[in-house]
């Protein structure tokens, strides 16, 4: 059944639209990063193909910024889309009846859809990070990773990671970033079981994600933050500290997992009990 879901996903335009949009986003980031660096250094920043860039504005910084913004603002849209269309889309087109008219349990149908939606989102996260690194290292230049406290909240104190260590940490980030996206997929899947329109499911999922993300990022609302899963989606930032606080990583990952499992349970319960006229 997973093969069937995978075939349906491959034949849809969604993966290609997601990849093309991600690549376009990176191209914009590259231009934006270049012009910003030029302005900040008074035109002294020097970008060439594959050379060692001693400045703060090197390929690793670019990769991190590109991934950070892409992960928080671009990938959730595609994760929500994938979760949203899986059930609502098939309900709207009534193709859900094809599966339900076969000796397949609702559990098996739901599981196959989850696996494919999770895999698609994970693949997008890895793609974004790999392309960010490739673009950064090839077009901006290599060097060590330096982080400073700032509005992005990437670190609370100055950090330094040698290039080799930074690349290993990006590997950790790639793995860790799958969990927040899976939680967004689960959230969208839950909404998807309530609506009979894919557009509504995706629209509501994206809108709610953005609302929760904005609320959870504003310090003023810190009492609400523990109740919003979006507060934990960038938990992988900890993996880029000189000394990783693994207990904090594990705690945030556990919280995200709990949110994701809760959304999935609600989604499956609704899918199992609902009618399909």
Partner 1 sequence: MLIETHQLTRRFGPRVALRPIDFALAPGEVVALVGPNGSGKSTFLKMLAGFLRPSDGRVSVFGVDPMRARVDVMRRARFSFAPPPLYDRLTGREHLRHLARGVSREEIDRALDRVGLGARADDRVRAYSFGMRQRLALAQALLPRPELLVLDEPTDGLDPLAILELRDVLRSLHRDHGVAILLATHLITEVDALVDRLVLLHEGAVLFDGTPDGLRDRPQLRIVADRLDVAAEALGGRLVDGAVVLEAGALDLETVRARLAAAGARLHAFGEVRASLEEALLARLRAERTHAR
**DSSP-assigned letters across all residues of 251-276:** HHHHHHHHHHHHHHHHHHHHHHH---
Least distance (Å) between residue 276 CB and partner 1: 4
Q: Which of 35, 41, 50, 95 binds partner 1 (CB under 8 A)?
A: 95
For residues 101 and 151, which CB has a smaller minimum distance to partner 1 in the complex? Answer: 101
Q: Please tell me whether residue 98 binds partner 1 under the rule CB under 8 A.
A: yes
The answer to whether residue 103 forms part of the interface with partner 1 (CB under 8 A) is yes
Size of the site for partner 1 (CB under 8 A): 21
Span near partner 1 by CB under 8 A; candidates 66-74, 87-95, 175-183, 241-249: 87-95
Question: Would you count residue 4 as binding partner 1 (CB under 8 A)?
Answer: yes
Handedness of CA 143, 147, 150, 153 (dihedral sign): positive
219 is an interface residue for partner 1 by CB under 8 A: no
Side-chain-side CA neighbours of 136 within 13 Å: the count stands at 27
Considering only residues 12, 41, 50, 153, which one is a binding residue for partner 1 as defined by CB under 8 A? 12
Could you tell me the smallest distance in angstroms from the CB atom of residue 187 to partner 1?
A: 26
Which ranges of 41-139 does DSSP label H, i.e. alpha helix?
Answer: 59-69, 75-93, 96-100, 106-135
Q: Give whole-number Cα distances, 220 to 31, 42, 192, 231, in Å.
A: 33, 36, 31, 13
* Residue 111, SS3 per DSSP: helix
- For residue 62, give the nearest of 83, 44, 35 by alpha carbon: 35
Question: Is residue 7 near partner 1 by the rule CB under 8 A?
Answer: yes
Rounded to a whole number of angstroms, the minimum distance from the CB of residue 96 to partner 1 is 8
Chain residues binding partner 1 by CB under 8 A are 3-4, 7-8, 11-12, 93-98, 100-105, 275-277
């Amino acid at each position: 059944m997973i093969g069937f879901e995978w075939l349906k996903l491959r034949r849809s335009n969604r993966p290609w639209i997601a990849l093309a949009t991600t690549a376009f986003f990176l191209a914009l980031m590259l231009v934006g990063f270049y012009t910003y660096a030029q302005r900040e250094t008074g035109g002294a920043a020097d970008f060439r193909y594959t050379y060692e860039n001693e400045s703060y504005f090197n390929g690793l910084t670019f990769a991190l910024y590109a991934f950070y913004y892409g992960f928080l603002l671009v990938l959730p849209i595609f994760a929500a889309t994938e979760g949203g269309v899986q059930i609502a889309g098939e309900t709207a087109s009534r193709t859900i009846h094809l599966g339900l008219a076969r000796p397949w349990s609702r559990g098996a149908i739901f599981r196959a859809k989850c696996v494919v939606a999770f895999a698609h989102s994970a693949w997008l996260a890895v793609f974004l990070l790999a392309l960010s690194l490739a673009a950064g290292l090839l077009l901006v230049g290599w060097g060590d990773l330096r982080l400073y406290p700032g509005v992005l909240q990437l670190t609370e104190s100055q950090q330094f990671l040698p290039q080799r260590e930074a690349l290993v940490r990006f590997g950790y980030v790639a793995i860790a970033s799958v969990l927040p996206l899976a939680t967004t997929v689960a959230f969208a899947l839950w909404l998807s079981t309530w609506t009979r329109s894919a557009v509504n499911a995706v629209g509501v999922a994206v809108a709610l994600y953005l609302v929760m993300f904005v609320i959870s990022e504003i310090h003023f609302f810190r009492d609400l933050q523990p109740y919003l899963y979006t507060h934990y989606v960038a938990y992988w930032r900890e993996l880029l500290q000189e000394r990783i606080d693994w207990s904090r990583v594990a705690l945030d990952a556990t919280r995200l997992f709990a949110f994701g499992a809760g959304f999935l349970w609600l989604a499956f319960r609704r899918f199992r009990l609902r009618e399909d006229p």
